Each structure stands twice: as structure tokens, then as C-alpha cells.
Chains A and B, each alone.
Chain A
């Protein structure tokens, strides 16, 4: 017994000595990939996001420079309460420094509060709600890939300009759907269009025929799908069955991912236009990364923009840590440093992070190719327009984020 106590004391003393000795130059980092590993969004984030994080760690070369980097991953099951519990445990017990991915707006907003309370970091690459960098912005959150304002702005404006001036929304009934519908409505009305109605469907519905019939009856020119993942693919598939497009209405996918297009097949998906900020076949940089990525994916999938964002976000995070000479384990301090430095990586190009935590880069309007235009698997998109970063996202002058000094 006595031996055990003294061993314990010795151990504690050594641990203290070790931690105080390396305080200035702490080179340990723990990354937590919090995502949907089993549900309807797991193809666009999930295991691919964890792989992207691993690739970022390998490419950073940090291990050779004496850093010790760990990655853990968990399934939040699209439930904000589960996500918050995991998040608390990660911060308190696992000592996680940075949360990556965190897709699903409900989950993203919950973790947003948590990282602020605990002075941790979230680099959100998956949630869509623009509130993360507007009313609910924090000094601990960076919103990396896209948001509802940008999607609405790019896709919404393009469609109204092309004559689609009456809209009907099919909206997923949670934070994300509401935000996307709200932001798109604003753009449509501002561009001179009109919203005729909306129907809110529960998340993860399998049958959309009732909702589609209501959209059909509205006679709106554009049926805007303010949903994502499996909900969107099922809506599109069933819309073609009910003759929505043949009847003269146009479907607008406000948020579509390459994995959705892959799941639908080009026969059904052709002609859809929507906005993304990353596509694997954009340039040499994206192609090189995507080739390595898909080679390591079990189903050989190309990366989604969410997964690409995990890689890009972490690379910038590592640059900030390197500039600071170690990990201060102080969320706000690291985020401030990240905002100071310009971003540059092969996937999203040159960019910046604004005071409100919004990462700025160009937005691309794509159209899905016809089957005969596609040269092979995953060759799906035609680029039809690019919005420069400064114009793509919500201007700071309209921001309600308290971090923005006006």
C-alpha cells in the first residue's frame, strides 16, 4: 500500500515536472472530428472527414518537427444534445484542442456555444447556417467552406436572373432548413422575385410525394429544396417521377454535394445547377489531392467540399500553431492568429478569415453534366459561373456579429 502511494506521488510529481518544463513549447495537439458517421450525412462528412484530417496531419510534416498529434472521431448522430455531451467530454477529459467538420446546423450551433464557453476551437466545415458567423459568431469559431447566405446568394440570384421569379420551398424542418429558406427568400425578394409558399418536412423523410404535390399545385416556377443529403436526393428522384420538371417547373438544389449527384446518377441529376466551393476536378491542386484521397476511401469516392474543408482548415490551423512556436491550448488566441494570417492551400486557393470567423474564398456555380458529356466516374460538373470571395459571402456591413467593429 505504502509503495503504491509513493509510486503515485512520484508519478504525479513527474507529470507536473514534465508539463511545467514544456509549457512554453507544448507541441501536442488533439484533433476531434465530430461528424455524422452513420446517418444520412455520413457520405459527405463521416469517415472521409477523418481521412482528410489524417492526410492534413501527414502533409503538415509536424511529426518530423517533434509535434505529437492525435485525431479522435465520434458520431454525433445528428443530435445536438449528443454532440454537446461528446464535446464536453472531449474538452474536459480528452483535452481536444480543435473540433473539425461538425456538420448539421443544429449540431454546429450547439457546439458553437460550447467552444465559446470552454475557450476551445471549432473549424466548422459542414454546417450550413450563416448564423455561425452572424448573430451567433464567437471568437472561437471559424466557418470554413460555405454557408446559407452564400448558397442563396449564388444559386438564388442566378435562377431569378434566368427568369425563375416565383418560388416554392421544400424545407427540412430544423435550424439548417430554416436558415437556408430565410436567406434564399431574402435574395429572391431582393432580386424582384416572389415566394408563393413553403412546406416544412421532417428531417430524414423517405417519401416526398405529398410535399411535391403541394409544390406542384402552387404553380411556382422554381421548387427550391432547402434540405440536404438523403432528403435532397429522394426529393429529386421523386420529383422526376411526378413530372415536376416536365410540367415546366424547375428544381433548385440549394445545397447539393458531389456525393448526392453520385448517388442520383447523371440520368436523374443532369441539368441541376447549384453552388459549391470545391470540386475535385477544378485544377491541378484539387486533382492531386482528390486522387490521393479517393485512393484511400473504401468506396473510392472523391472528396466532398466538407471533407476538403477539413483538410484545408487543419493545414491553416497548423500554420498558425507553427507561427506561434507551440500550442498555447487557448482557443481564442489561436483563432485570432489564424485570422491574422492569409490562407492559401491547393484546395480552396488564396483567401482570408474575417473578423466574424467567416473564411472567404470563391464560390462556383456548377451544372450537372448530361450522361453523354461525362467522361468517366465522378466526372459530373460543368463550371458555369464564379463569384469572387468578396462578393460571395454576407458583406461585413450587413453583419450583426458583435466581433465586427463598425
Chain B
């Protein structure tokens, strides 16, 4: 029983990465209608950005939590301005192919210079160590990841679903021409939204840097699972992707305990089941 609690908690920790990443994807898909396959590569860039900040500029973890998402977010906005914006109105497939190609290029460049084994990034001193919860030894850093990502997820949800800015944004996706008539700069808003989604990916990257090796392929390994999360949660649904992110982390954690060989596939089995029963995802609206 104790072991089970431990696995649930570990699942929650992994779930927070899924939630952060799928949230970014959902924001981008919901607002821009782009299936952002470059998300994994941008997550990786976030982790590398933290590594560079520490090893070149001597800037530690805490500032990196803010600087890296902004830097990578700006990079994302440049991508949006120079390439993605021309795809609005076209079939989803174009956006998917373009972002997939971008992901391969970005990963290829990083791999060319940094190899595949990755680079070390230490846990910040303040969060080192762990506490004994009775049923398991919880590294403090992992606890921090869960709490922090939960807060970020809820803030993002609030921003988009409950504020005036979010309302404008949602209106702009429904009818850009009309919203523009109200004097709102829609293209700029779209760019900023893409930047926000990318920033969330980079933030997840910084969070994961001390846990995983900072590797060029760290995002490629994760992105497929995250897409499954988004599909299960319902494409474009903000709350749906947060909840499914955490839930799937837990389910995966349990699988690792009961039948570890299947832990890489369980998410996809669930995805197939959900698609069979409810093709628009658990919280998605049928279109």
C-alpha cells in the first residue's frame, strides 16, 4: 500500500510536466489553430537556455525560470512572424509539417554541437535534499515542481478564460475580422499568444533540467506522449489539458508499478479508447 502512494505521487510529478506542455499546446491550438510539433524542441531549448545561462553567464536557476521562457518565447514569436503566420487559414496539415520540420532542424543543430548524452545541470542548493513522508522519500525539488507547475497552469487558465485579455483572444479566434473592427491588433495578439505557449514549454524545460539530462532529444521523447494527452483531453481545451496531464501522469505511474513493460504505451492505449468512445476528447466540444 505504501508503495502505491509513492507511485501515485511520482505519477503526479510526471503529470505536472505533461500538464505544462499540453497546456502550451492547447493554448496554441485553441488560439492559432496550429498543431505545434515544434513544442518538444522548444521545451528542449528552454532547458539548454538554463544550461547556457548558468555555464556562460553564471546566472542560476531562479533567474533562469524567468529569463529562459522569455528568451525562448521571443524565439517562438520570431518563428510565428516569419513563418507560421502565413499558414493561417490553411489546412492543419501545413502547420503540422512546418513545425515538425522546424523541430527536426532545431534538434539536429543542437545534436550536432552537443551530442546525444546531454549536459549536467545541478539542482539549486535551496531545493536539494528531501523529506521522508513515511511512505516514501520525496526529493524537495520534485515537490516544488508539482506545486509550481500547478500554480502556473491555473494562472494560465485564469488568464485565458477569466480576464478581458483572454476574452479578446477567444473572440479573435472565433471571428478575427470582427474583433479587428473593434480596434484590436489581432496579428500582434496571435504572436504574443504563440510566445506564451512557447514560453510555457520553455518553462517546463527549465523545470526538468535538474531532473533529466539536458539533452537535444529530451523533447522528442516527450512530445508524442504530450500530444496523446492533448488528444485525450480534447484539442484546444485549457482545463481539459491540465487535468488530463496530471491524470495521465498518475496512470502512467501506476502502470510502472503494476506492469512496467507497458508504461511507454499505456497512454496511447487510453488515447485509442477515448477516441473510440468520444472522438472530440474528454472535455472537447464536438465540431
Contact = CB atoms under 8 A, between A and B. Distances in A.
Nearest to A48: B115
A259 B117 contact: yes
Interface hub of B11, B213, B253 (most chain A Cβ within 10 A) = B213
Interface hub of B123, B215, B256 (most chain A Cβ within 10 A) = B256
A42 B115 contact: yes
A243 B222 CA distance: 25
Given A209-B13, A210-B260, A217-B3, A242 B130 contact: yes
Interface residues of A, number: 45
A213 B2 CA distance: 11
Interface stretch (B87-95, B137-145, B279-287): B137-145
A177 to B, nearest CB: 11
Contacts of A213: 3, 6-7, 10, 136
A39 B3 contact: no
Contacts of A211: 256, 260
Contacts of B213: 230, 233-234, 237, 263-264
Given A40-B217, A299-B113, A206 B212 contact: yes
Given A202-B261, A238-B211, A210 B130 contact: no
Contact of A200 (B7, B141, B212, B261): B261
Contacts of A183: none
Contact of A43 (B3, B116, B256): B116
B6 A39 contact: no
B157 interface: no
A204 B221 contact: yes
B112 A298 contact: yes
A257 B110 CA distance: 21
Contacts of A201: 256, 260, 263
A60 to B, nearest CB: 28
A267 interface: yes
Contacts of A259: 115, 117
A38 interface: yes
Contacts of B248: none
A278 interface: no
A173 B10 CA distance: 21
A84 interface: no
A263 B115 CA distance: 10
Contacts of B113: 298-299
B137 to A, nearest CB: 5
A247 B137 contact: yes
B75 interface: no
Interface residues of B, number: 41
Contacts of B222: 206
A230 B116 contact: yes
Given A205-B264, A206-B218, A229 B141 contact: no
B118 interface: yes
Interface in B128-181: 130, 136-137, 139, 141-142
Contacts of A41: 116
B258 to A, nearest CB: 10
Interface in A73-132: none
B264 A43 contact: no
B137 A210 contact: no
Contacts of A229: 116-117
Nearest to A244: B137
B124 interface: no
A263 B117 contact: yes
B56 to A, nearest CB: 16
A205 B263 CA distance: 9
A265 interface: yes
Nearest to B111: A38
Contacts of B260: 173, 199-202, 210-211
Interface string B1-43: 0110011001101100000000000000000000000000000
Contacts of A264: 120, 213
Contact of B14 (A207, A233, A243, A260): A207
A214 interface: yes
B109 interface: no
Contact of B139 (A44, A216, A230, A242): A242
Contacts of A234: 212-213
Interface in A315-342: none
A262 interface: yes
B122 to A, nearest CB: 7
B119 interface: yes
Contacts of B7: 210, 213
A230 B115 contact: no
A299 B115 contact: yes
Interface of A: 38-44, 46, 173, 199-202, 204-207, 209-211, 213-214, 216-217, 229-230, 233-234, 237-238, 241-243, 247, 259-260, 262-265, 267-268, 298-299, 301
13 contacts: A38-B116, A43-B117, A202-B261, A204-B221, A211-B256, A211-B260, A213-B6, A213-B10, A237-B120, A241-B123, A241-B130, A242-B130, A264-B120
What are the 3 A-B residue pairs with the smallest beta carbon separation, nearest first?
A210-B256, A263-B117, A265-B120
Interface of B: 2-3, 6-7, 10-11, 13-14, 111-120, 122-123, 130, 136-137, 139, 141-142, 211-213, 215, 217-218, 221-222, 253, 256-257, 260-261, 263-264
Given A238-B211, A241-B123, 9 more contacts: A43-B116, A211-B256, A213-B7, A216-B137, A229-B116, A237-B211, A259-B115, A259-B117, A263-B117
